C-alpha cells in the first residue's frame, strides 16, 4: 500500500517551464507577434524560431503546432491540457484517479501504479477466495463478517478486471510507442498521418519508457530515455545518391521514398542510441530506414 501511495505521489508532473524553455517565445518575439497581423509575416517569425528546434509533427493543415495559451511552439507529442491549463510533454491523457496528467515525466510511474494496484487487488481476491467459498456453502458463522467478506471479494475482483484491462491496453501502447491520444488520432508528419511514426520496434519502444537498465524497471525511479521534447523516429527521407543501408528495407519507388520523410535534428545521447543499435528496427505496421534531410516547414497556429 505504501508503494502504491509513493507511486501516486511521483505522478506529479513537473512545471513545464523547466522542461522545454527553448520552445517558449521570448519577450521580444511575443512583441513581434503581437504587432504583426496574423499572416505570412507572423509565420516568418515563427519559422525563424522553429528552424533549429526538433519539431516534426504538424497540424492537420500541415502547419507547425503553436499553443496560444502557453505561448510556445509545441514539441512533438506535446498537447495542451485544458484541465491543468498547461502543455504536457508526450501527453497520454488526464487521469482523474490521480488528479493529474499522465505524460513523459510520469508515464513509467503510471504504468507501475497500475501494476502495483493490480497485484494488490489480485492478492486480496486470492486470499479472500476461500472465505467466499465458505460463505456460499454456509460454512461461516452468522456474523457481520459475512457482508465484509462478500463486499471485499466483489470489490477486489471488479477492480482486478478493470485494472487488468487498462494495464494490458497501456502495455500495448508502450510496445507500439503510442500515447492514448495518438492511438485515437494519429500524429501528422510531412507526408501525412502515420500512427507508427515513432515506433522503433517493441524492444526499443519499451526501453524508451523504462530505460536501458533492467534493475530500474520494477521500481518507481525515473529511468525513461530522452528529454520529452524530441523523439527518434523511423520516418526518414532517403537520399538517392546514398548507397542502400543494410539495416532496413528501402522503398523501391520514388513516391515511396519521398513519402516517408523525417528531418535531421539533434537528439540526446540516449535517444541516438536507440537509432544506432542493431536490434530489430521493423515494426509490424511500418519499415524504418536510417537517413535524414531538412524539411520545408509551413507554420501556423493549431486549430
Report field, pTM of the whole predicted structure over 0.85: no
Average pLDDT over residues 53-79: 86
pLDDT of residue 246: 35
Do the domain assignments include residue 298?
Answer: no
Do the domain assignments include residue 198?
Answer: yes
pLDDT of residue 249: 36
Specify whether 18 is catalytic.
Answer: no
Q: pLDDT higher for 272 or 233?
A: 233
Do the domain assignments include residue 75?
Answer: yes
**Options 81, 95, 171, 202, the catalytic residue:** 95
Average pLDDT over residues 41-53: 77
Instruction: Report residue 50's pLDDT band, with 50, 70 and 90 as the boundaries.
Output: confident
pLDDT of residue 224: 94
pLDDT of residue 108: 95
Three-state SS annotation for the chain: CHHHHHHHHHCCCCCHHHCCHHHECCHHHHHHHHHCCCCHHHHHHHHHHHCCCCCCCECCCCCECEECCCCEECCCCCEEECCCCEEECCCCEEECCCCEEECCCCHHHHHHHHHHHHHHHHHHHHHHHHHHHHHHCCCCCCCCHHHHHHHHHHHHHHHHHHHHHHHHHHHHHHHHCCCHHHHHCCCEECCEECCCCCCCCHHHHHHHHHCCCHHHCCCCCCCCCCCCCCCCCCCCCCCCCCCCCCCCCCCCCHHHHHHCCCECCCCCHHHHHHHHCCCCCCECCECCCCCCECCCCCECCCC
Do the domain assignments include residue 123?
Answer: yes
pLDDT of residue 53: 85
Do the domain assignments include residue 229?
Answer: no
Do the domain assignments include residue 241?
Answer: no
Q: pLDDT higher for 11 or 133?
A: 133
Q: pLDDT higher for 59 or 239?
A: 59
Q: Residue 151 sits in which domain range?
A: 1-216
Instruction: Report residue 79's pLDDT band, with 50, 70 and 90 as the boundaries.
Output: very high
Do the domain assignments include residue 268?
Answer: no
pLDDT of residue 61: 78
pLDDT of residue 144: 72
Do the domain assignments include residue 263?
Answer: no
pLDDT one-digit tens code per residue, 87-141: 999 999 999 888 889 999 999 999 999 999 999 999 999 998 888 888 778 777 7
Q: pLDDT higher for 302 or 147?
A: 147
Domain count, the chain: 1
pLDDT of residue 4: 59
Amino acid at each position: 500500500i505504501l508503494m502504491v501511495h509513493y507511486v501516486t505521489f511521483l505522478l506529479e508532473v513537473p512545471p513545464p517551464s523547466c522542461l522545454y524553455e527553448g520552445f517558449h517565445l521570448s519577450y521580444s518575439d511575443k512583441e513581434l507577434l503581437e504587432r504583426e497581423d496574423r499572416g505570412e509575416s507572423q509565420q516568418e517569425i515563427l519559422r525563424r524560431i522553429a528552424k533549429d528546434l526538433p519539431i516534426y509533427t504538424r497540424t492537420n493543415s500541415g502547419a507547425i503546432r503553436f499553443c496560444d495559451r502557453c505561448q510556445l511552439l509545441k514539441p512533438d507529442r506535446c498537447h495542451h491540457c485544458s484541465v491543468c491549463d498547461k502543455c504536457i510533454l508526450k501527453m497520454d491523457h488526464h487521469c482523474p484517479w490521480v488528479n493529474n496528467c499522465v505524460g513523459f515525466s510520469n508515464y513509467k510511474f503510471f504504468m507501475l501504479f497500475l501494476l502495483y494496484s493490480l497485484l494488490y487487488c489480485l492478492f486480496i481476491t486470492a486470499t479472500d477466495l476461500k472465505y467466499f467459498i465458505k460463505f456460499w456453502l454456509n460454512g461461516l458463522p452468522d456474523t457481520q463478517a459475512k457482508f465484509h467478506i462478500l463486499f471485499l471479494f466483489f470489490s477486489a475482483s471488479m477492480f482486478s478486471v478493470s485494472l487488468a484491462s487498462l494495464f494490458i491496453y497501456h502495455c500495448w501502447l508502450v510496445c507500439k510507442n503510442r500515447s492514448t491520444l495518438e492511438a485515437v488520432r494519429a500524429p501528422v508528419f510531412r507526408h501525412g498521418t502515420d500512427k507508427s511514426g515513432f515506433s522503433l520496434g517493441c524492444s526499443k519502444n519499451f526501453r524508451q519508457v523504462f530505460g536501458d537498465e533492467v534493475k530500474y524497471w520494477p521500481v518507481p525511479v525515473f529511468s525513461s530515455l530522452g528529454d520529452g521534447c524530441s523523439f527518434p523516429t523511423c520516418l526518414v527521407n532517403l537520399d538517392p545518391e546514398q548507397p542502400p543501408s543494410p539495416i532496413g528495407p528501402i522503398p523501391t519507388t520514388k513516391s515511396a521514398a519521398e513519402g516517408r520523410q523525417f528531418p535531421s535534428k539533434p537528439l540526446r545521447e540516449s535517444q541516438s542510441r536507440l537509432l544506432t543499435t542493431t536490434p530489430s528496427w521493423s515494426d509490424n505496421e511500418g519499415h524504418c530506414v536510417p537517413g535524414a534531410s531538412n524539411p520545408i516547414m509551413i507554420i501556423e497556429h493549431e486549430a
